[in-house]
Amino acid sequence: MTRYLSQDTPESLRDHFLVAMPGLNDPIFSRSVTYVCDHSEQGAMGIVINQPLDLKLGDIFEQLAIEHTPQPVNRPVLAGGPVNMQRGFVLHRDTGNWESTLHITAEICLTASRDIVSAMAMDEGPKSAIFALGYAGWSPGQLEGELANNSWLVVPAETGIIFDTPVEERWNATAKLLGIDLNLISSEAGHA
């Protein structure tokens, strides 16, 4: 089976998607798309962008006792990954000046501060944003090991998939960037 990670792949997978292969049966990552926010010798960190929780943004505003307008309350809350699931992360296009922001690219940021959530509650935050609880984290070498075991396809990220594609279509849409249909790939791993 082809790994789809060639020698031309940059050392850092920052600003790439990790697309779960059909054989990845982990309940958290099955059929997932993870946007890699940071990747270095110290490990990797990403946000799963296609696993909705049974929560809406309005539930978060209520839990945090944040005053809000009716507009954003029905936006989905995503399971960003199994690490620190009680903490919220907002993946957004670079707009605004927030307290705790990681600038991933010139266009995409990750913010984990209350000020952006309060702005979103009043429909004054970034228009292109997803809210996730938790994140996906890998210790040094762990992600590379998972790639060697064919758990993930690596795809350069496209902001349209993060912000403009419906959540339930992101897994297939991301794989189609490589010209493949994941539904046609066997979940059984094989080695020649």
Residues in the chain predicted with pLDDT less than 50, given as ranges, are 1-10, 189-192
pLDDT reported for residue 22: 83
CA 165 from chain center: how many Å?
Answer: 13
pLDDT reported for residue 34: 97
Q: Which helix (H) or strand (E) holds 120?
A: helix 114-121
pLDDT reported for residue 186: 53
This prediction's pTM? 0.87
* Sequence-ordered list of residues with C-beta below 8 angstroms from that of 12, at least 6 positions apart, any chain: 39, 40
* Cα gap 163→173, rounded to integer Å: 12
For 20-49, what is each residue's pLDDT tens digit?
988 888 888 988 999 999 999 999 999 999
